[in-house]
Every structure is written in structure tokens, then in C-alpha cells.
Amino acid sequence: MISATSLCLLLTIWSALTYFPVVFAADPSIDLGYVKYIGKPGSAIKYANNSAAPYHFALPYAYPPVGSLRWLAPKPIYGSPPSTISIISAIVPGPACIQGVPAWHANPFASPTCPVSEACLTLDIITPNNANNLPVMLRIHGGGYTEGQSEYSNGIPDLTHSKWAFVWVTIAEYLWWPPHHETNVQVSQFQDILQETGCPDVACLRSWGERKLANVTRKTYVTAYFNHQYGYGDFYFGPVVDGKVILDLPSREFERGRFRQVPLMTTHTQYEFFIFSNGTMKTGLELISDLKQFFPNATNPFVEQIILLYPTAKS
């Protein structure tokens, strides 16, 4: 039902950084002083057919958020480099993060199509040959916490002759996905997980294996959908303004000038919303009811405005 490619396009952003502290050597390797990652020549990489650019896969950028670190803010790995220099092979793509499946998806209990793990805070680096101190373009993939990974890459450019290095990163995509659920929805999500697991608290949830917990989470997507807690096209679990990791809605943060000024290259996708709409809805009333589940606090004028902006397609 849902097209992975289009979904990812919707949620893709690029940001150019000029201060990434990486020195590129020729072998291809990335030397961080205390660790050296040995990469793979580009021609062997499945998703960059024609690129001769070397790749380095799955470099960790934070401690794996597993066990007692589950759901905590990422813990930096720098600051305590190992005393001996290690050489690490970086030729195998890292796993995607564990992903949810909205119940309106064709198969809410389908197995993941690629390896998944909570230990997914890694990035891939693509460089031209013999790159040295190049500016770095950072790409954060999309997917609504339901798909996507650093390796997931529409339109990777051929970097053979590039004057840039590229970093693909697996990172929470809060920026362009404004939180829209109220606190009561998050409370209900939490209660549902506690009920499914029989756990009394978060400490207990941290002791669960990731597969079992992912399975239980999938069940809560299904229960909530059939209890009309979210609408078709909504991902249900999403970013939360908690005042600590996410301080406020992105619109308000931008308004207050609370953003970092870096060169930014961004794209948008047109005519994609049909992917997120239930094609079997027949009446305007069904549409309104779905929209009100999608935007739980929507007023009638807001819903009317959406219907004006997205008129029904003529068949």
C-alpha cells in the first residue's frame, strides 16, 4: 500500500556542515586518531552503481542506545578514546533502527525487509577518491519511524569527481515532522505498552529484548487504530515536545530564531499525499472523520481548509 520510495522522498533533508572533524586518507580509510575505519571502494556498492567513490559503513556516532540507555538521549562516544589505535572494517552496512508499522499498512505484522536493531546510531560516509579535509554534506533520512536507514538513499550522486564528502546518518527526524499528538495520546501509548508487556514501569521495559518489545509495539499500533486513536496516514508514534530533548514545535523555534545557521539544501515532494490517504473512503464525512483522527484537536474551519487545499481527485 505504502511506497517506501515516495515516503522517504517526502522526509528527506540535506544539511551542509563544514566542520566535521574527519581526515580522509587514500586507502580508503578514515582516521580519527584513535580509530581507523577501512572502507570499501565505491564500485562494489549496490546502490551507487556508477560511483567510483569509496564508502565507509556504520561508523558509530553515539553509544548504542541499548539496555539501560534505551530511550535516553544519545550518549557521546568521544571524550574517552581507547588508548590503543584500533583498525575497524567499515565495509558492511549497519542495521536500520527498529521500526513501527502503522495498522493501516498493508501488512502490520510483516517481517522487516532489512536487518534492524536498536544499536543503529551509525552513519555512512561517502567520499571522492583521495579526499582530504573536504566540506561535508549531511543527509538525514526520512521514514516516519516506520522505515528508512542511513543506507536508504534515493539519488545518491556520483561522487567520483566531487568536491564534497557525504555523510548519511540514521537520526531521529524530528525537524520536519512536527509533533502533533497531545500528551494524553502519549500517556495512552505508554499505558498500552505497559499492559501488553505486563511491566509496571520503564525500568522493566528496559529489561525486555528488543524483538519482543518491537512486537508488542506493533500490537499497540493495531489496537489504537481500531480504537480510532489515529487516522489513516498517521504514524501514531512520533516526536514529542518534552522540553528537554525537543524543546518546542519547530515552527515556534524557527519563529524565535532558535536554529543553527548552516548552509542548507532541501527538497520537497509534490503530489504525495495520496500515499497517506485511504482510497476506499467514499464520502466527505468519512474523510472528515479520518482527518479529525489525524489532527485530534482540529477545528471545523481547519478541516475545511485542508479539504479546500486538497480537493478530491476526479476519477
Residue 193: CB minimum distance to ligand NAG, A = 14
Distance CA 217, CA 221 (A): 6
Burial (CB count within 10 angstroms: exposed 0-12, middle 13-18, buried 19+), residue 54: buried
Residue 212 binds to ligand NAG (criterion: CB under 6 A):
yes
Comparison of 212 and 268: residue with beta carbon closer to ligand NAG: 212
Residue 209: CB minimum distance to ligand NAG, A = 8
Residue 228 binds to ligand NAG (criterion: CB under 6 A):
no
By rule CB under 6 A, what string of x and - marks binding of each residue 5-34 to ligand NAG? ------------------------------
The distance in angstroms from the start CA to the end CA of the chain is 19
Which of 109, 166, 184, 118 shows the shortest CA–CA distance to 145? 118
R_g (Cα) of the chain, nearest Å? 21
Residue 211 binds to ligand NAG (criterion: CB under 6 A):
yes
Comparison of 95 and 171: residue with beta carbon closer to ligand NAG: 95
Q: Can you tell me whether residue 29 is helix, strand or coil? A: strand
Residue 195 binds to ligand NAG (criterion: CB under 6 A):
no
- DSSP per residue, 182-197: -HHHHHHHHHHHHHHH
Q: Can you tell me whether residue 175 is helix, strand or coil? A: helix
Residue 3 binds to ligand NAG (criterion: CB under 6 A):
no
Of the candidates 195, 278, 299, 305, which one interacts with ligand NAG according to CB under 6 A? 278
Residue 175: CB minimum distance to ligand NAG, A = 21
Comparison of 45 and 137: residue with beta carbon closer to ligand NAG: 45
Which of 153, 167, 159 shows the shortest CA–CA distance to 122? 167
Distance CA 83, CA 95 (A): 28
Q: Can you tell me whether residue 139 is helix, strand or coil? A: strand
Residue 221 binds to ligand NAG (criterion: CB under 6 A):
no
Residue 85: CB minimum distance to ligand NAG, A = 36
Distance CA 212, CA 118 (A): 12
Residue 122: CB minimum distance to ligand NAG, A = 22
Residue 286 binds to ligand NAG (criterion: CB under 6 A):
yes
What is the contact surface with ligand NAG in residues (CB under 6 A)? 47, 49, 104, 182, 211-212, 215, 232, 278, 280-281, 286, 297
